[in-house]
Structure 1
C-alpha cells in the first residue's frame, strides 16, 4: 500500500496572469523551474558561500525528537555557529535543521542576491527566511500557523515535499489544539495498519533541485524530507480574507498559548491525550472502525 500522490505540475516562463488564474486564485501548488535563474542566489548560494557571509552567526538547531512532558514543543536541540553546523552536515546524515533564519535581521546583505517575483502577489518583505537541513532530516506534517502562501526556493541539495489540501485534514491525524499531524507517523514509510486513514488521503508530491521554487498555498499541509543537505529560502504572502485573518489570530493568540499552558500543567498526560484524540477523531471522520 502506498500514499495516493500525484505530481505537482512544473512550469517555465509563467506569466503573472497565468499564475494567478491557474494556481494562486484556485490555490493549487506549482513548481517554478526557472523563476530564480536570474537571481544572483542561483549562482552564489552554497554552503561555502553562507560560511563566508554568516559563518560566525550562532543559530538554534532543531531535531526530530518529539517534545515530551513539559518540554517546549518549539524548543531547540542545541545552538551552534553556522560554520560548525555546516561541518556536521558535510560529515554525513544528520537530523539537525536550521529553521526560520530571518535574512533581514541576521544577514541583510544576502537580500541583494534575491528578487521578489512579479506574480501579482503582495509579499511580506520583512520575513525572508532560510531553512537548512541535513541528509535524512524531515519536518513533521503540518500547515503554517499564520496561514501564509509560501514560495519556497531550493538553492543547494535536493528535497522531497508532500502536500495535502485543507479538505484532506480529516485523514491526516491532526493533533487537537495544534497545526501538526502526529509526530510519531513516518510519512516516508507510513504504517497503514496503525494509521489506515492515510491511505484515503489524496495529495501531491514535489521533488526540488537547484534553483527550483515551489508554491505552497495557504493552509496546505506539507511534509518535507531532505534527500541531501539542503538550503532553501521561503518568501511569504499573508492571507487577506476576514475569515483567515480571524483564524490566524485565533492560532497565535489562543490555540498556541492554551496548548503551551496545558503542557505546563499536565505534561505528558496532555500529549498522550491529544494523540489518542487525534486517532479517535480521524478514524471517526474517515469512517474507520
Structure 2
C-alpha cells in the first residue's frame, strides 16, 4: 500500500525542479507557440483569461512564481465552462466549450505541480479533462498524466477483508438452450454462418494471444491505474431507483467495491482505454470486425469491471458486439429481436431498449407473454468471446469478480 502522505509529492526542491522541467517540456517552447485555438465561438470573457494564464506560464524562468494565480484562472475556466457542459444534452455541447474546460484542467494541474503540491490533485484534474473535455495541444493532458503517474507511488489492493471463498456454481445451461461454441473460425466461415444470418456464437481461441490474458488482475489494475479518476456506476443494475454514478479513483473503487464488497459498484467505461493507454496496449480489435462496414477508428471499445452479482438487465444495443471475457465468469442469456414484443420493453424513450422483466425471477402475472420467449444461454469463461448480433436482447450477471472488454461495430 502507498504510505499515507506520500501521494507523489516531490522529495525536495531539486526533485520538484526536475519534475517541472519534464512537465514544461510537454508545452510549446514559446508563448506564441501555445496558440489557445478553439473549435468555435465562446463568450468574450474567456480569451482574456486564457491569455492571462499563458503569460503566467511563460513569464518567468523555471517554475512560474504565481502558481496560485494560475490555479485560480484554471478554477474559473472550469467552473464557467462546466455550466455550458451541463446546460443541455451532451451531444449538443460545443467542442469549443469542452476545450475551454480542458484548458482549465491543464492550467489547474500545472499550477499544482508548480507549487509542489501532492500530485494526486493534478492527476485528478487531468482525468477530468480527459473525461469531459476535448483534446488541445496534441492531447497534452494524456501526455501530462503519464509523466505525473510515473512519479506516483504504485498502490496495491487492500487485503484485510479479502475473502477467498469458493466460486459459486455456475447456473445449469441445458443442452437445448446452449449457445454454439466455435474455435478460431475463418473469416469466411464466421461471416457466412453467423454474421450474415445474425446468429450468436461463443468463439474460443481468438484472444489467447492478448497480453491481458496473462497480466490482468485486481492487483494489476491497482498498480497500473490506482491513482486515476474514473466514473463508477453504483448499484447492482442501472434500472434500480437507487442507481447512481460517482467519480472516484480506481484504487478507491477496488478497495470499496471489489475487495471489501461494501456494496455493488461497477466500472463501465467507454473511455477507459483512451484515458489509460497502458491498458489498450494489452488488447487488440478482433479480426472479425473487418467484416463490418465501418472504419477501425469507429469501433467503440468498452471496459466492464465489477464484483460478483453485478447485473446488466435484459437490453439490446444498436451495433454488433463482441464481448471478450478476460477474467471471471458471466452468465448470459440472449433473446432474438423477433421476440421483442414478448420482452416488454420500457415505454420511456430513455429505457426503450431495456426490458421490464427480471429475467431470472419474472413476474408472469404482470408479463404473461414472457414465457413465450425462447432464449439461448452460456457461462462465458475467461478467454471466450461472445458474438451478440445487433439488436439481440442480452442479460448478463457476473458470477465472480469480472473484467470484460466489448467491441461495438457496424
**TM class by shorter-chain length?**
0.7 to 0.9
Deviation at 1:233, TM superposition (A): 0.4
2:244 corresponds in structure 1 to 76
Deviation at 1:121, TM superposition (A): 2.4
Picking from 121, 143, 159, the partner of 2:316 is: 143
User: Is structure 2 residue 301 aligned with structure 1 residue 128?
Assistant: yes
2:212 corresponds in structure 1 to 41
Matches for 1:166-245 after TM superposition, within 5 Å: 166-176=337-347, 177=349, 178-182=352-356, 185-238=357-410
SS in 1 for 2:333: strand
For residues 89 and 107 of structure 1, do their structure 2 counterparts lie closer, same or farther at Cα, with a shift above 3 Å needed?
same
TM-score (norm 1): 0.72
> Which piece of structure 1 moves more, 38-47 or 90-99?
90-99
TM-score (norm 2): 0.52
For residues 124 and 170 of structure 1, do their structure 2 counterparts lie closer, same or farther at Cα, with a shift above 3 Å needed?
farther
Matches for 1:12-161 after TM superposition, within 5 Å: 12-62=183-233, 63=235, 64=237, 66=239, 76-87=244-255, 88-92=257-261, 94-119=263-288, 120-122=290-292, 124-125=296-297, 127-144=300-317, 147-161=318-332
Deviation at 1:128, TM superposition (A): 1.6
Unpaired segments ≥5 residues, structure 1: 239-289
> Which piece of structure 1 moves more, 221-230 or 46-55?
46-55
Query: Aligned equivalents of 1:152 and 1:65: distance in 2?
Result: 19
For residues 216 and 61 of structure 1, do their structure 2 counterparts lie closer, same or farther at Cα, with a shift above 3 Å needed?
same
The structure with the largest strand share of the pair is 1
Aligned residues: 228
Larger C-alpha radius of gyration, 1 or 2? 2
Picking from 11, 16, 19, the partner of 2:182 is: 11
Deviation at 1:67, TM superposition (A): 6.0
1:274 corresponds in structure 2 to none
Provide the alpha-carbon RMSD of the alignment: 2.4
